Amino acid sequence: MGEPCLSDRPVIVGAGLAGLMTALHLNASAPCPVTVLSSAPLGTEASSAWAQGGVAASVGPDDASSMHVADTLAAGAGLCDALAAGRILQGAASAIAHLAALGTRFDRDEAGELKLGLEAAHGRRRIVHAEGDATGREIMRAVIAAVHACPAITVLEGVDARRLLLRDGRITGVLAGRRNPDGRDEAIRLASTQVVIATGGIGGLYAQSTNPSTCFGGGLALAARAGAVLSDLEFVQFHPTALDAPGTPAALVSEAVRGEGARLVDETGRRFMADVPGRELAPRDVVSRAIWAERQAGHQPYLDARGLIEGGFATRFPTIAAACHAHGIDPDREPIPVRTVEHYHMGGIAVDEAGRSTVPGLWACGEAARTGLHGANRLASNSLLEAMVCARSVADSLLSSRLLAAEPVEGQALPPSELPRRPDPAPLRETVSAMVGVLRARAGLVAGIEALLPIARGCSAQADPALVALMIAVAALARRESRGGHYRTDWDETDPWQASSRSLTMADALRLATRAIARDPA
């Protein structure tokens, strides 16, 4: 590890849209040297690049930010922070303009106006998209090109953060690991008083998810071990319509397909959402549970998109068409088999309006952060927008606190043997899926907590994934009601007295887990 390094540039952990936009905003008006840690080659392991539907933005002539806020609050089932929602959603038009200026080729009509799609629980067509259903890929192409063109941004590929370094409760740096060609991990220590967590979601904890399998909530584990407060952890969103075909991660069949009129049917052609308010475009948790229930009852759910798109399905949804064709399914001729899979985590590192966590020197943005926008259930396509708007707030906050900063500090010097092992969530996936899936209940939560607690306390490659899963389970056990993405079969009503967000530290979670096991051993 050598001598402590005194360089003090911001370190961004994660290179999806939130992380890269933070780096670009830091350099918007003057060069600001910044280091971005990317565990994989840029763009290859980021959920942002896989986003299909698009970016929700109230830019249509019949729309207004206040309408977008109202739909977001309704989906959030009483747990959104209305001020945060107003602030973030108001930034939509300028975020879209910024991306267009970076070179993102959004889909437009002949007059040059943005084409707007519809998704579930949106009262208006307001989904801005690119290359049909390849919105994330096109946005990330433009953003990555801008990052490469900015000499002040250093991207360290193949490097993943393993611990945050602290002194007197303040961030002093990041201890990271890099896999050498011989397969061994090398420790890298980056001294910095400003660290941003932008590591994305938790889908890698589940057997079936639309996220890259490396996204297991690593940033949540880093922040929790540093003493940060995490909020709304029990709220996990499941996407109702992933392609039901072998392989993981699951291919998404965007909600935009239902926005174009596709119907959910079973193997007999019965439209099982026909009597549910909102039908196929009901809130995502409602549709997810309906599909889950159909499968439990022995039915095969399908999405029937035949004859919807003039010129053929692939003209509007080329990515989904390719995924279907790869499994021998022709969406123009046959219904698409679908299943419910993990998709998005509403909870995360609790941050204020500037993206500051409760640990001095630690910021968070993107899916890893809990801003209050999503509440108990995220409105479709609000997350790319949140990532862009909050990246700007984080960059502004970093820049203004740099002006006030004292001298660069020394980080802790750790011997190489203390580099934690490269995390591997795979052995935990069946446990996590059974414990905090679409449906939860006390017995399953306590059994999962009992299995995870010793692992989270240990130092194996499963320690960090187990800690994140444990904290989600403890939060789910404490919420004795059903709301949004959190559905308890043993507490299946929404309780108006529980309409508030809840927070946990790692110490709280370990204490509550121990108590739950003692009270109710599996």
Give the binding site for ligand SIN (CB under 6 A).
Answer: 52-53, 252, 254-256, 343-344, 380-381, 383
Between residues 255 and 266, which has the closer beta carbon with respect to ligand SIN? 255
Minimum CB separation of residue 284 from ligand SIN in Å reads: 8
Between residues 214 and 254, which has the closer beta carbon with respect to ligand SIN? 254
Question: Over the range 420-430, which residues count as b (16 or more CB within 10 Å of their CB) and which as e?
Answer: beebebeebbe
Task: Residue 457: name the closest of 514, 411, 372, 408 by CA.
Answer: 514
Rounded to whole angstroms, the Cα distance separating 294 from 315 reads 30
Determine the 3-state secondary structure of 163 from DSSP. strand
SS (H, E, C) 73-112: HHHCCCCCCHHHHHHHHCCHHHHHHHHHHHCCCECECCCC
Minimum CB separation of residue 111 from ligand SIN in Å reads: 25
Q: What are phi and psi of 209, to 5 degrees?
A: -155, 160
Between residues 8 and 138, which has the closer beta carbon with respect to ligand SIN? 138
Rounded to whole angstroms, the Cα distance separating 522 from 508 reads 21
Q: Which token pair is 345?
A: 């985590």
Rounded to whole angstroms, the Cα distance separating 57 from 93 reads 7
Minimum CB separation of residue 400 from ligand SIN in Å reads: 31
Contacts of 182 (CB under 8 A, 6+ apart): none
**Closest residue to bound ligand SIN by CB:** 53
Rounded to whole angstroms, the Cα distance separating 455 from 469 reads 11
Minimum CB separation of residue 377 from ligand SIN in Å reads: 11
User: Could you list the active site residues?
Assistant: 284
Between residues 292 and 344, which has the closer beta carbon with respect to ligand SIN? 344
Altogether, the residues listed in the chain come to a count of: 522
Minimum CB separation of residue 462 from ligand SIN in Å reads: 28
